Amino acid sequence: MTMGKIARQPLAWGMTRWGPLPDTTDLFLFWDGPGAGIYLEKGAGGDQARVRHPSAAGTYDTARQAQAAVDAFVEAGTP
């Protein structure tokens, strides 16, 4: 099942936030930039927890890699 594109918000210094996640109003995905993993964020700028789901559990060196992980995570339907 395709969840569709999630809004991407480029931030300063190469960081990116996506969201809110489908069926939520305050859950986002956050990437710190090259070499970082994807984090689940409660509210923009809120508490974060590392995504451990196999679809997005790695570290990513490019925005394109991070975007692919976010897309896979959303496609898996696991917020």
Residue ranges of the chain with per-residue pLDDT less than 70: 1-4, 78-79
Distance CA 10, CA 14 (A): 7
pLDDT at residue 2, rounded to an integer: 42
pLDDT at residue 4, rounded to an integer: 61
Distance CA 13, CA 34 (A): 10
- In order, the DSSP letters of 5-52 are ---EEE-GGG-EEE-PPTT-SSEEEEE-STTEEEEEEESTT--EEE--
